[in-house]
């Protein structure tokens, strides 16, 4: 196995470890720090979207930034449409991605959800080149497939187009879910709207109108940043929020006696006002709250 491939697999292993610790949305500072390989630090990102570390000849990662100039998306066909660097097809970064496609080498994709926070997806492959549109097609594949290929002695890039299309479609769903979570939590300044808890690891983005219902779109105005306790209580109608942003506790819960968590974690919220985002445009929709509140009062 050549060093380039060793570095790519080491990067995949490192990302697996980091996502086990932090989840699959990672901070820019962590990615920029990178990992050690044979005593040298390999960085994973730079201000440029297509990044080649000093230890490899070809790009190791591609990145889409929320504040960046490019509009990368899944809208074209079944795969990601990733923009060229600039408008010159022969720019060295574009040539590097083209060579990765020719050699069928895997790389990493970092999708910007909010400034400084990236969903990490790997392995991905460049599977199409469109100079007339200044775009590449990028497919996501299964990491276990690489491991099986190495064990079997098969070419590392062997892959079914249909399988890659399916895996890419599952990543699209994950992107939408993580994007909703990150945007809602960012709007609430990483704070539970009910209890003011500020630990990101313990926060969720709760839909007001569930995404399975009409009107349950993944918009900030249809979300609340809630800790896991209050997310579950909100979803299960133990807590409700009126259209004027006041928390109400279900009457039978108020009558219960069951220790400090119930007393302070639920009952103590009755009649308090939720924390609202700093931007009024991000405040929860009163119509969505009314929809949910009507069902809460029916349950109560």
Task: Return the pLDDT at 206.
Answer: 97
Question: Do residues 240 and 292 touch, judged by C-beta distance below 8 A?
Answer: yes
Amino acid 146: pLDDT: 59
Q: Which residue has the higher pLDDT, 190 or 265?
A: 190
CATH 2.30.280 maps onto the chain at 3-183
> Alpha carbon of 127 to those of 69, 139, 144, 158, 288: distances in Å?
23, 6, 19, 12, 42
pLDDT, residue 172, reads: 80
Flag whether pLDDT at 154 surpasses 70: no
Query: At 150, is the pLDDT very low, low, confident or very high (cuts 50, 70, 90)?
Result: low
Q: What is the pLDDT of residues 183-229, one digit of tens each?
A: 999 999 999 999 999 999 999 999 999 988 988 899 999 999 999 99
Residue-wise pLDDT for 103-120, tens only, equals: 989 999 999 999 999 999
d(CA 298, CA 100): 58
* Rounded CA separation 37/224 (Å): 41
| pLDDT class of 260 with cuts at 50, 70, 90 | confident
Across the chain, mean pLDDT equals 89
Hey, what long-range contacts does 229-232 have (CB within 8 A, 24 or more apart)? 229/195, 229/261, 229/265, 230/192, 230/194, 230/195, 230/265, 230/269, 231/204, 231/206
Which pLDDT score is estimated for 145?
63
pLDDT at 69: 45
Helix (H) or strand (E) holding 290: helix 286-299
Percentage of residues in the chain having pLDDT higher than 70: 90
- The per-residue pLDDT for 300 is 65
- Residue appearing with tokens 């890419």: 168
CATH code, residues 3-183: 2.30.280
* Terminal-to-terminal C-alpha distance of the chain: 64
pLDDT at 235 over 90: yes
Bridge partners of residue 128, in order along the sequence: 137
Q: Per mean pLDDT, which of 114-128, 130-144, 159-173 is the most reliable? A: 114-128
Rounded-to-5 percentages of helix, strand, coil across the chain: 40, 20, 35
Query: 75: pLDDT confidence band, cut at 50, 70 and 90?
Result: very low
């Amino acid at each position: 196995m050549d060093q380039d491939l060793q570095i790519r697999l080491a990067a995949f292993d490192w990302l697996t470890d980091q996502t086990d610790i932090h989840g699959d949305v990672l901070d820019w500072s962590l990615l920029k720090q990178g990992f050690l390989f044979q005593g040298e630090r390999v960085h994973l990102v730079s201000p440029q979207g297509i990044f080649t570390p000093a230890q490899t000849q070809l790009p190791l990662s591609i990145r889409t930034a929320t504040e960046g100039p490019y509009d990368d998306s899944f809208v074209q066909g079944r795969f990601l449409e990733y923009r060229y660097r600039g408008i010159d097809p022969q720019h060295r970064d574009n040539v590097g991605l083209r060579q990765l496609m020719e050699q069928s080498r895997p790389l990493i994709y970092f999708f910007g959800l909010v400034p400084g926070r990236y969903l990490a997806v790997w392995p991905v492959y460049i599977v199409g080149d469109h100079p007339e549109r200044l775009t590449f097609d990028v497919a996501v594949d299964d990491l276990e497939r690489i491991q099986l290929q190495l064990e079997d002695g098969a070419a590392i890039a062997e892959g079914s187009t249909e399988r890659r299309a399916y895996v890419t479609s599952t990543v699209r769903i994950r992107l939408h879910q993580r994007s909703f979570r990150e945007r809602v939590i960012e709007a609430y300044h990483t704070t539970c709207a009910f209890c003011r808890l500020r630990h990101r690891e313990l926060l969720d983005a709760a839909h007001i109108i569930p995404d399975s219902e009409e009107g349950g779109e993944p918009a900030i105005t249809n979300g609340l940043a809630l800790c896991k306790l209050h997310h579950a209580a909100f979803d299960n109608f133990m807590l409700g929020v009126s259209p004027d942003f006041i928390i109400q506790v279900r009457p039978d819960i108020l009558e219960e006696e069951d220790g400090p968590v119930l007393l302070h974690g639920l009952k103590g919220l009755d009649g308090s006002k939720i924390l609202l985002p700093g931007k009024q445009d991000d405040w929860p929709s009163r119509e969505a709250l009314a929809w949910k509140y009507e069902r809460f009062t029916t349950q109560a």
